[in-house]
Structure 1
Amino acid sequence: MRKIIMPAVFAALCIFLILNPAGLSAQTGNGESGDTSSDPSLVAVGSLSASNLYLSYLVLGTVADGYVSGSYDLETTKSIARETIFLNGNSRDALQDLLDSEVIAREEARVVSDMIESYGILDNMAGALLNFIEDENDNGSAYQTFRKEAWERISALLGLEE
């Protein structure tokens, strides 16, 4: 497993989130999209969701690396992976409620759907990590597949280049 984040990437992400929060905008009463900056609650949802996806990815990568290197024991690794699944489930459910409420425009709904799908991939990544640490015959290939898929989706959502 490789290092997942470099300081320059983290700095770029922080700058991106501050200057250009995820592209969610309010839908006006007549079904037209409003200016993103006019609805701070949607800007907050976009920014927090984007950073949570990114940080969830980092947590799973860090705990996997920590387990393989011996820095984390089996129980700590399992606990962190399960907690990540639980917390991501709450975020996914909240985004689904937002989507179901139909208060956001179609383009923004697509972004929210992409975020929901990204949480699902992170859950698959965490599940594959749990399988890897619990089954000595698991070589970690499923974890690596989900890790790569999660990064592709999250980096696309955030506009980061690999």
Structure 2
Amino acid sequence: MKAIAVLLVTICSFSVSRAQCDVEVREAFGGVSSITVYNTYITIGAIADAYVNEVYNANRVKELMGEQASMLQSVIDMLSKCQVAKSNGLSEDDVQYIKELIACLQSLKGEAQGLSDFAVSGSEDAQNRYNQNRDKAWTQISALLGLGE
């Protein structure tokens, strides 16, 4: 009987620890994703400033924005696989957060592509795409980080 009691306590302790770990992992994921979108937004803006101030030429901006767009797409692809609630242990709220995060990452990618196109072509259309995606990304980042609350 003692062996069964010890086994049950051990199993229950493991379940509580795992549930606590799941919460901690979700909180860590939220923190890392928040830092990622914010820092990506700042990075793209800093590179735009460097271009306008002739620190970087068009080829360097194109190269850097290509790297940003590629990394963003990789993360979008990874996150897209995580959008099914329950089958992978995610709640509906978790899935909604992932969808909002993906939308934000897509806006950041559009911002990076707009800046790259603007640096190469100087077109007003590219500049408008950069500005529109930048504004949209900031609105999404603010919502994800709870800055408007």
Q: TM-score range by the shorter chain?
A: 0.7 to 0.9
- Aligned pair partner of 1:105 in 73, 87, 91: 91
Secondary structure (helix, strand or coil) at the match of 2:83 reads: helix
- Give the number of the structure whose residues are more often helix, by fraction: 2
Q: Is 2:119 the partner of 1:129?
A: no
TM-score by length of 2: 0.77
Separation of aligned partners in 2, 1:53 and 1:75: 24
- Aligned pair partner of 1:95 in 79, 88, 94: 79
Could you tell me whether the CA contact under 8 Å between 1:121 and 1:146 is conserved in 2?
yes
Could you tell me whether the CA contact under 8 Å between 1:36 and 1:42 is conserved in 2?
no
Secondary structure (helix, strand or coil) at the match of 2:124 reads: coil
- Aligned pair partner of 1:71 in 55, 62, 76: 55
Counterpart of 1:29? none
Counterpart of 1:10? none
Q: How far is 1:133 from its partner? A: 0.9
Counterpart of 1:160? 147
Q: Which runs of 5+ in 2 are unaligned?
A: 1-18
Q: How far is 1:128 from its partner? A: 0.9
Could you tell me whether the CA contact under 8 Å between 1:128 and 1:142 is conserved in 2?
yes
Q: How far is 1:37 from its partner? A: 6.8
Could you tell me whether the CA contact under 8 Å between 2:62 and 2:117 is conserved in 1?
no
Give the AA of the match of 2:110: N
Could you tell me whether the CA contact under 8 Å between 1:56 and 1:122 is conserved in 2?
yes
Give the AA of the match of 2:111: M
Q: How far is 1:39 from its partner? A: 2.9
Q: How far is 1:87 from its partner? A: 1.2
Q: How far is 1:59 from its partner? A: 0.9
Give the AA of the match of 2:28: A
List per-residue Cα deviations over 1:44-64 (Å, max 9, x = no partner). Answer: 221111111111111111101
- Aligned residues with identical type, % of pairs: 26
CA RMSD of aligned residues (A): 2.2
Could you tell me whether the CA contact under 8 Å between 2:47 and 2:61 is conserved in 1?
yes
Looking at CA atoms only, which structure, 1 or 2, has the larger radius of gyration? 2
Which stretch shows the higher mean deviation, 111-120 or 41-50?
41-50
Separation of aligned partners in 1, 2:30 and 2:144: 10
Q: Which runs of 5+ in 1 are unaligned?
A: 1-34
Could you tell me whether the CA contact under 8 Å between 2:65 and 2:116 is conserved in 1?
yes
Secondary structure (helix, strand or coil) at the match of 1:57 reads: helix
